Structure 1
Amino acid sequence: MTEPQYVDSFYARTRADDRRWPALIGDAEADTCIVGGGLAGLNLALELAERGRRVVLLEAQRVGWGASGRNGGFVGAGYSLGAKRLIERVGPADARRLYGLTLEAVQTIHRRIARFGIECGPVVPGILKAGLAEEGPGLERDIDFMAERFGVTTLEHWSAERLRAALATDRYSDAVLLKGSVHLHSLNYARGIAAAAAAAGAVIHEASPATGHSLDGAVKEVRTAAGRVRAREVVFACGGYVGMLHTRLSMATVPVATYVMLTEPLGDRLASVIGVPHGVSDTRFCNDYYRPLADTRILWGGRVSTFHPPAERIAAALHRDMLAVYPQLADVKVEVAWGGTMGYPKHKMPLIGSLSPGVWYCMGFGGHGMSATTAGAAVVARAIADGGDEYRLFQPFGLAFTGGPFARPAAQTIYWGHKLRDGWRARQRPKAA
């Protein structure tokens, strides 16, 4: 069998090490079997192993192979469901508790980077959430809202003048600097958490896709092609790659692709275009997100789709998106582009909870997962090892049916609708003098 490899990406090309974990062969016993080696599963393995639990983690490819190691590298509080919608769904008290889990998770990420010496830097503070020129300035009111409702005091408003001095584009109206957020090397971070979990006693198996399971009874069983794990608890942490491993979980997520590209180095030219080290994301549903790298390249991401085009088509599409914001970069070449699949629930909140005694799920982070996976893992670990009940905060969202075989075409149609709306609004954008 050919050993699995990471997709060609900036992250894979610059990973700090190439440690591999062996495939599962034969039988294994554990207190907890975790299915999925992305950040949700890896953080959960670390949490449980540090509590003295025997953990076996099964990863179909390599740790951090999916969305956890292919994303934009942005770390910030919150969920795909926005803060205002969160209050509408669960009320102000539970919304604050849910949001607080991700604020705590951001601090946990900082602590783990320092504690385990994870080489995922440079860890650059600050992400600019930029409003669109055609919508006019108005983000300043978000600062008061977040302070009042969620106790967030790390937001700073940037006027159009200040933003234009930092970013050489007329695409934006104003922005909020999320000072508590950072950007980093996501694959190196995921691999660092894997190494920390292994050092704490967790047993990790790569190249070991789960092929079946028996979840009834006191002792559950998860099977692979070459072995099986018997455990008292099973946790599904599969994200966008759950396939049909578990029908209820599969039907509660839509596997949606998103794309990222890396430019060639810009050298001194970069500072004249993007004059701040912060990451940038706009406020559209179909948003662009990008960040300057230490070697003067730009990492640019965006779009969502149910399609998986080849790398050259991804590069061309994202290059066009970049030029819509920075037309002065028309001659800048793309070095590598890639896509990845994320699990997207209908309600835009993570799927966290229990299916039956001893059977858990922690997945579906929908493109906002660096902190939310850490929060979800902590909640599930406290439930399993300490009897905690914070996971019940996620119960109002549940395993909402996404449409089965109609989920992908429906999601694609919704995305196209948003793109058409965004395109029409962009044509109303005031032209620079």
Structure 2
Amino acid sequence: MTDADLQTTWYETERVGREPRPRLSFDLDVDVCVVGGGLAGLTTAREVARRGWSVALLEADRIGGAASGRNTGLVVPGFSEEIDAIIERIGLDHAKQLWALSQDGVEYVRRTIAETGMAGVGPSAGWLRVWKTDNPRDVRTQAERLRWLGTEVETWDRTRVRQAVGSAHYFDAMHFPAAFHINPLNYTLGLAQAAEDAGVRIFEETPAVALDPAGVRKRVRTPSGTVRAAHVVLAGNVQLGALMPRLGATLVPVTTYVMVTAPLGPVLGEVMRYRGAVSDGARSANHFRVVGGDRLLWSSRITTRPLNPRRFARTLARSAQAIFPQLGKIEIAHLWSGTLGRAVHRMPQIGETSRGIWVASAFGGQGLNTTAIAGELIARGIVENDQTWRLFAPYELVWAGGRLGRIIVQAVNAGSAPARLAAESFARYRERARVRREAHAAQIKAAGPPPPETKAMTADGPPPSGERRKGGRRRQAQKAE
């Protein structure tokens, strides 16, 4: 693994086109100015332009250079927050509406790929959410709840799981056949092209350095020009803090780390017969899938400040080896990180904060479907005065606690690890004990039926043990008399 491998993701090796776009070097008047060239910004810009309005999009770096082009590529329904917590906070009916939107986001991505004929995106079907503890009742309960919400989900027992994913660490699972995974970089680049085809003007290497929200025409200043627009959409990530401190203060920056192995050969196909994506928990759990035929893409570990990915190379390799010891020593070919923003309530922040100022942020580790939701809802809100975005109103801008908030988030993730590992270790111990019991029972069964019960011996021999004890007690009583 060279230093160059730390600068490029695996997705760069499969990249389909990336023509440079100009910097903004003049003043510009448009209906809508979108700040941020990630998935949320591109979707918003495209959907506004498709409705006939003029749009300029400002990207501080290159399209696809940040989290949108560096994530694991998993497109699934739901949010970073667990559905139970959502229901508890806003009630069943409201939660069901939000969940339906999350599924709409999945279908938006699927439909956009098909309609535009994006190359190199390669959607592959299926997501398997496996349990590392032996709790089939919990799996069934969660699956039933998701079916009630309208999600297509299957339950797999441990036998089926281990046939698909050859690890003794895994027990039962929920399978989502309608979920899929993609090359997120090529999807981001394809979405940018689709936005331009709709009429969006995209400017790269054009950071927004100041925002004047006053008046009917807001002003977004860049180093070499100013954009005036009736609506401004702030669709950036944690980098938006300087432009809108109130928004930046609501985000906890979370950095995730991803590796792709060198080719593993036929053994990977024997271990990973399943060709969808696999997750073995939430938050800082392992997320993995096969890429390039015989390579393993593996994501794990989070930090609240960006660190050199090399620090986690051995950690990532060991976590994969612990799950799949059959793979032997793992050589890393690509290793990278990506930083995203997460709100304390773990839900997206979508909507109009003041007249003509919109935000789309805090997608927090599950952004492919939720950025699609944000773009569609904000476009409808701007052009059609649609109010569906207000379904996210309970999840408003909440201060994230600054440096202390980051420490707390890191501590929560680190602190939960010992208990989680203990539970997983105990589950594997119980599994080994069950296997030993079954093996013992099989040996007894194979030995044939037990011999017939032996009758008590006659007077010519000693009495049964119980009678000996009774006789002994009688003799002791006689001596005592």
Same fold flag (TM > 0.5): yes
Structure 2 residue runs of 5 or longer lacking an equivalent are 1-5, 436-481
CA contact (8 A) 1:143 1:156 kept: yes
Question: Which of 295, 299, 313 is equivalent to 2:293?
Answer: 295
Greater displacement, 99-108 / 369-378:
99-108
How much does 1:114 deviate?
A: 1.1
Alignment length, in residue pairs? 426
CA contact (8 A) 2:133 2:423 kept: no
Q: Deviations over 1:218-277 (max 9, x none)?
A: 010111111111111001011233232211101111111011110111222211111110
Q: Deviations over 1:161-217 (max 9, x none)?
A: 011111111111111111110011001001100000011100001111111110111
Does the aligned pair in 1 maintain the 2:134–2:172 contact within 8 Å? no
Relative to structure 1, the CA distance from residue 210 to residue 115 in structure 2 (aligned partners, 3 Å threshold; closer, same or farther) is: same
Q: Which has the higher strand share?
A: 1
| Alpha-carbon separation, structure 2, partners of 1:203 and 1:363 | 22
Bigger Rg, which one: 2
CA contact (8 A) 1:43 1:374 kept: yes
How far is 1:134 from its partner?
A: 5.4
Match of 1:218 in 2: 216
Deviation at 1:411, TM superposition (A): 1.7
Deviation of 1:84 after TM superposition, in Å, equals 1.7
Q: Which amino acid aligns with 1:426?
A: E
Following the alignment from structure 2 to structure 1, what is the Cα–Cα distance between the partners of residues 215 and 313?
Answer: 49
Give the structure with the larger helix fraction: 2
Mapped partners of 1:121, 1:360: distance in 2: 29
The amino acid that maps onto 2:150 is G
Q: Give the distance between the partners of 1:44 and 1:7, measured in 2 at CA.
A: 29
1:100-120 Cα shifts (integer Å, max 9, x gaps): 112112111111111111124
* 1:295 match: secondary structure: coil
- Quick one: which amino acid aligns to residue 109 of structure 1? V
Q: What residue number does 2:107 align with?
A: 107
Residue 333 of structure 1 deviates from its aligned partner by 0.6
Distance 2:208 2:422 in 1: 45
For 1:64, the equivalent position in structure 2 comes to: 64
Partner of 2:78: 78
Could you tell me whether the CA contact under 8 Å between 1:160 and 1:174 is conserved in 2?
yes
Distance 1:374 1:351 in 2: 13
| 8 Å contact kept, 1:138–1:174 | no
Q: Give the distance between the partners of 1:136 and 1:286, measured in 2 at CA.
A: 22
Deviation at 1:350, TM superposition (A): 0.2
> 5 Å matches for 1:378-417?
378-417=376-415
TM-score relative to the length of structure 2:
0.86
State how far apart, in whole Å, the 2-side matches of 1:308 and 1:316 are.
17
C-alpha distance in 2, partners of 1:409/1:311? 20
Corresponding residue number in structure 2 for 1:371: 369
| Counterpart residue type for residue 82 of structure 1 | E
| Residue pair 2:241, 2:249 contacting (<8 A) in 1 also | no
Q: What letter corresponds to residue 65 of structure 2 in structure 1?
A: W
- 2: CA distance between counterparts of 1:412 and 1:392? 31
Task: Calculate percent identity across the aligned residue pairs.
Answer: 35
The letter for the 1-side match of 2:196 is A
The answer to whether the 8 Å contact 2:129/2:174 transfers is yes
Assess, with a 3 A threshold, how the Cα gap between structure 1 residues 290 and 137 changes in structure 2: closer, same or farther. Answer: farther
Provide the C-alpha distance between the structure 2 equivalents of 1:141 and 1:305, rounded to a whole number of angstroms: 31
Displacement of 1:422: 2.1
8 Å Cα contact 2:264-2:327 kept in structure 1:
no
Contact kept, 8 Å, 2:121 with 2:184, in 1: the verdict is: no
2:155 pairs with one of 154, 157, 160:
157
Contact 1:285 1:418 in 2 (8 A): no
Contact 2:258–2:335 (CA<8 Å) still a contact in 1? Answer: yes
Partners of 1:427 and 1:284 in 2: CA distance: 18
SS at match of 1:228: strand
Residue deviations 1:296-328 (CA, integer Å, cap 9, x gap): 111110211123222322322211211121122
- Superposition map of 1:18-417 within 5 A: 18-133=18-133, 138-148=138-148, 150-152=149-151, 154-417=152-415
CA RMSD of aligned residues (A): 1.5
Shift in CA distance, 371/120, structure 1 to aligned 2, threshold 3 Å:
farther
